[in-house]
Amino acid sequence: METSNEKPSKGASFSTIIKNIFFVLLILQFAPIIFTGVKSTLEDMFTPKAHIGYLNINGFIGDSTHYIKCIDEFSKNPDIKALLLRINSPGGYSGSSQVVFNELKKFKKDKPIIAFIENTGASGAYYIAMAANSIIASPISLVGSIGVFMELPNVKELLTSWKINYRYVQSGAYKTTGSMVKDVKPEELAYLQELSDDQYRQFVKDVAESRKLDAKTHKLWADGKAFTGNQALKLKLVDKLGSFSDALDEVKRIGNVKEEIKLIQPKKPSGFMRLFGGDDEMGQDSMSLSFAEKTACFLSNVWNKFSSLQASQMPQTH
């Protein structure tokens, strides 16, 4: 009987090493997630905690998509007892702000909402905050700025100085209203003012209803001014002054929570997940599904490439 003393080719060994490294990295990527999940589960078993949704409203509000997804996930999760909004925003687009406000109003029918304004909760951000059952603000924070404005930049003279002519072909008398390369006509300005006034009336109406204020007194609290948290309390635009810990106490009071609070945040995908195209705005459940599908496809492709590489480096028979 003959025995083979042939050693594996260098190509095969290299391929094996690469495969082992890949799977080690894969295990290391998921190990912290698994251990964290187990630890969290055990802690919840022995020390019951009240799960509270936690949503940050940060920066300019330009799109409602992310916020709507998070609110919907918190609404469908039976373990979530309430929602805590932490607001640090100067506002944003009126449409996006109003959409988030309306979604929160629906959420509030089943679960309470507490808003905490840390630095700034102005304009569209205040629009969102006022959907809460209770608003807590830092005494020195900026609150309010209830109003609407439109910017109309104009570069017509600059283009003229460069001898650049710009013409329109339009259908509809008001289609080019607000264009930065032509002067605004009086009738166009009146049209834009009508739009701004209607948005303002909607904003004032929602504030008056949400904060139980007399809309007739809107000039006191809706003239575009921002107020400190201290001033906003006197105007009844916020309910209490305090810090983040005070907001947590308010969650317990309004949500009738006796246990220790555990804040549940919408999780963003890790860098490894983004390798497969994970969307930062996707919720945890939907993200997991997408990740599983893409991971299976990715691993299949990688395995096929390794197999092909290994086969190409093995001795061939003819």
What residues are labeled active site? 123, 175
What whole-number distance in Å separates Cα of residue 5 and Cα of residue 12? 16
What whole-number distance in Å separates Cα of residue 139 and Cα of residue 162? 51
Residues with Cβ within 8 Å of 257's Cβ and at least 6 positions away in sequence, in order, are 50, 52, 81, 82, 251
Question: Which tokens sit at 179?
Answer: 């264009």
What whole-number distance in Å separates Cα of residue 78 and Cα of residue 73? 10
Residues with Cβ within 8 Å of 22's Cβ and at least 6 positions away in sequence, in order, are 302
What whole-number distance in Å separates Cα of residue 192 and Cα of residue 175? 12
Pick from 236, 206, 210: which is nearest to 221 by CA? 236
What whole-number distance in Å separates Cα of residue 240 and Cα of residue 242? 6
